[in-house]
Amino acid sequence: DNGTERPYNHMEEGEEGYMDDDGNEVYIVKLERGYLSIMFSVVQTIILIAMMVQCKVAPMRINPMFGPYPDALSYWGGKNAYLILEDNEWWRLITPMFLHAGVIHLVCNVAVQVDTCAFFEREWGSKKWLFIYIFSTIGSSILSVISLPNTVSVGSSGAVCGLFGAKLAEIICRSYESQKTQQGRLGHEVRGVQLRNVLCSVILIGAFSF
């Protein structure tokens, strides 16, 4: 490695590209699939099913998300400020990303993960995606401990919003790229679509946050 960046429109082994009608590589992604996005979504689904089997499904008046009783959320590792600070259960800063309040909550987050967030993983690669996902989870849990100390919180919303924040930062930083080439124009078009997807996803997640 001589320290120089390779051309953005050159596709190396293991990468996938979008091509124009002439077969030119104009928008490059690193992965064929968002493997971690899919894996996390599957694990989160399995865990919610296990929670509902073990702890039963609460009436809608208690849990409108169609899920287990609220006590189960803390038992399974939800963000509980008292247990984190008093009992030093710091692992609860990470485990909430695997848990969801109910089916509605899960479907909203998973739908965003396997679509929009999975494409981010394809662009950035799994290592960068995972780094952002994990540290966004920790950051959002810390913020929740400070701002909502009496509330048990669960969900991957914090991680997803962290990915959105990273994408918005990328869009801003790359907004001044030249649009004179077809690659440049397509890049701007793709990021424009991503920006709309991010805004719509934030609204969806915010509407069904628990």
User: Considering the domain boundaries, does residue 36 fall inside one?
Assistant: yes
User: Considering the domain boundaries, does residue 112 fall inside one?
Assistant: yes
**Tokens for 133?**
């996902």
Residue 115 DSSP one-character state: I
pLDDT value at residue 30: 87
pLDDT value at residue 178: 53
pLDDT value at residue 2: 42
CB 73 within 8 A of CB 154: yes
Structural domains counted in the chain: 1
**Tokens for 46?**
């399995």
Other Cβ atoms less than 10 A from the Cβ of 82: the count is: 13
Give mean pLDDT in consecutive 10-residue pieces for the chain, a chain of 210 residues.
40 47 61 94 97 93 91 95 96 96 92 90 95 96 94 92 88 66 54 58 53
User: Considering the domain boundaries, does residue 4 fall inside one?
Assistant: no
Each residue of 30-46: b (16+ CB within 10 Å) or e? bbeebebbeebbeebee
Residue 192 belongs to domain with CATH number: 1.20.1540.10
User: Considering the domain boundaries, does residue 123 fall inside one?
Assistant: yes
CB 141 within 8 A of CB 98: no
pLDDT value at residue 188: 56
pLDDT value at residue 185: 57
Supply φ then ψ for residue 102, to 5 degrees: 180, -175
pLDDT value at residue 189: 57
User: Considering the domain boundaries, does residue 6 fall inside one?
Assistant: no
Of the candidates 155, 164, 175, the residue with the CA atom closest to the CA atom of residue 198:
164
Supply φ then ψ for residue 43, to 5 degrees: -60, -45
CB 88 within 8 A of CB 125: no
pLDDT value at residue 144: 93
pLDDT value at residue 29: 79
Q: Find the domain containing 155 and state its range.
A: 16-207
pLDDT value at residue 159: 94
pLDDT value at residue 6: 38
Q: What's the half-sphere exposure (Cβ side, CA atoms, 13 Å) at 119? A: 17
